[in-house]
Structure 1
Amino acid sequence: MRTSTRIAGVLTGLTLALGGAALAAPAAHADVTACINQVERELQGGEAPDSIRMACYAGLTGDHEKCVSGLTAGGVTNGTAVTACRVSVT
């Protein structure tokens, strides 16, 4: 195998690997943001406190119960909490 062909293959592989990582990284952040936005709609324009942000992060990690209980403890209605936690993982 020629050296130039081998180098081209390695560079192509690196490009695909790094490009995939760059595309995947913003998605995780967007999920937490979607959860927070859902809660802020209920708060009618108010900014979500840190406790709400942490509860949404728990939903992102897959702990649905902790997410819902954290949001309801922060004053969010149960229906909105369930919806917000659901969007944090999708």
Structure 2
Amino acid sequence: MRTSTRIAGVLTGLTLALGGAALTAPAAHADVTACINQVERELQGGEAPASVRTACSVGYSGNHEKCVSGLTSGGVTNGTAVTACRASVS
């Protein structure tokens, strides 16, 4: 196999691998954002504090109960916390 053909194959593989990673990264952010947006709706236009982002990230990682407890300890109602944490994994 010629060197130029081998280099072209390697570059093509890298392009596909990096392109796939770039396509999957925004999905994670969107789920955490959906959780934060749910809490901000309850705050009626107020910006959610950093503790909300942390709790929503925990929810995205799959720990629903810790997400809910993190949000409720930050002053979010239980109903909104459950809905927001559900949105983080949807």
TM-score, scaled relative to structure 2 = 0.88
Instruction: Tell me the CA shift for residue 85 of structure 1.
Output: 0.6
Unaligned segments of structure 2, at least 5 residues: none
Distance in 1 of aligned mates of 2:14 and 2:52: 38
Residue equivalent to 2:17: 17
Distance in 2, matches of 1:73 and 1:9, equals 53
Gaps of 5+ in 1: none
**What are the equivalent positions in structure 2 for 1:1-90 lying under 5 Å apart?**
1-90=1-90
**After TM superposition, where is structure 1 displaced by more than 3 Å over at least 4 residues in a row?**
none
Per the TM alignment, residue 28 of structure 1 is displaced from its structure 2 partner at its CA by: 1.6
Superposition TM-score, scaled by structure 1 size: 0.88
Q: How many residues align?
A: 90
RMSD: 1.3
Deviations 1:10-69 (A, max 9, x none): 111000011111112222222211110010011110111122121111101111100011
